[in-house]
Every structure is written in C-alpha cells, then in structure tokens.
Amino acid sequence: MLLNNASRGYLIYHELSTDDNYTWSMGYEDIPEEFKDEMLNRLDELEACFVEGRIPERSEKYEWECKLCNYRRDGLCQLCDVDEFNLTEFIEKFKRKRDPTSLIPLVKQYFDKFGLDKSTIEMDLNPDENGKEVAS
C-alpha cells in the first residue's frame, strides 16, 4: 500500500504452527503515520543495501524483522553474525544446488566451517523413498 499509494489493502498472515490463514482488510488511513515513515525509511535502506550488495544491519528500531525470521533462534542468524560469512556467496551456492532440501545440509556445512553449534538447528533429515535426505 505504501509503495503503490493504494487506498485499501489486505494484511494476510499465515500461522506456521497451526497452518491457519488470517486476512484483514485495511485502509491507508488505518496505518499510523509513524509506522509509514519508519517503513519508508527502512525500504530506502534496504534498497541501498541491495544496490550496494551488502547485508542490511540489524536495527533496534526494526527489531520485529528478526522476530519474524524463521532462523532467529540460533539458526542461520548465527552465520550472519560471523564477520567472515558472506550471505551472497551462501545464497549463490544454495541456488546452484537447485534443490530446496539442500538448505539445511549447507547451513550445517557452514556451521562446521565457522565452528558454530549445529545442535541448535531444529530440523531432522530423514531419507525419502530414494534414500535422499529430506527435511521433516
């Protein structure tokens, strides 16, 4: 809504733990001005990071970003905190594999590389009918 100057929009939320979906209709006027300003500032910052090829820094002002991240509890974020970790390189390696199930093994490989505790990665890998490990 902010980017397109739309007068109405929908907030759609998917609750991962229950697989439920929630939808709310809202008007532009329902969004507090302070929130609009913060979002536009953050979008400007994210655009600059994209153009410059750098990872956006965490900000207390936008702490909700990490709260919504699937990797926030000692997951991939541990890697992002390592100075030598290059997220762009990691993403390129993952894309070259062309296999979504390769994410967790790749994360574990990087955890080993930087001496991080892999026991905090909360995904079990079970072989499928072809013997290939898949996330359960």
* Segments forming the whole domain that contains residue 56: 8-66
Would you say residue 79 has pLDDT above 70?
yes
Task: Compute the residue count for the chain.
Answer: 136
Amino acid at 18: T
Radius of gyration of the chain (CA): 19
Instruction: Note if the pTM is more than 0.95.
Output: no
Higher pLDDT, 54 or 36: 36
- In this prediction, residue 69 has a pLDDT band, given cuts at 50, 70 and 90, of low
109 located within any domain: yes
Same domain, 98 and 123: yes
- In this prediction, residue 135 has a pLDDT band, given cuts at 50, 70 and 90, of very low
Domain count, the chain: 2
55 located within any domain: yes
Q: Are 119 and 94 in contact (CB under 8 A)?
A: no
2 located within any domain: no
Amino acid at 72: R
Same domain, 23 and 41: yes
CA distance 37 to 89: 32
CA distance 77 to 85: 11
Strands 133-135 and 125-127, by their bridges, are: antiparallel
Same domain, 18 and 62: yes
Torsion of CA 107, 59, 5, 47, to 10 degrees: -60
Rounded to the nearest integer, the mean pLDDT of the chain is: 76
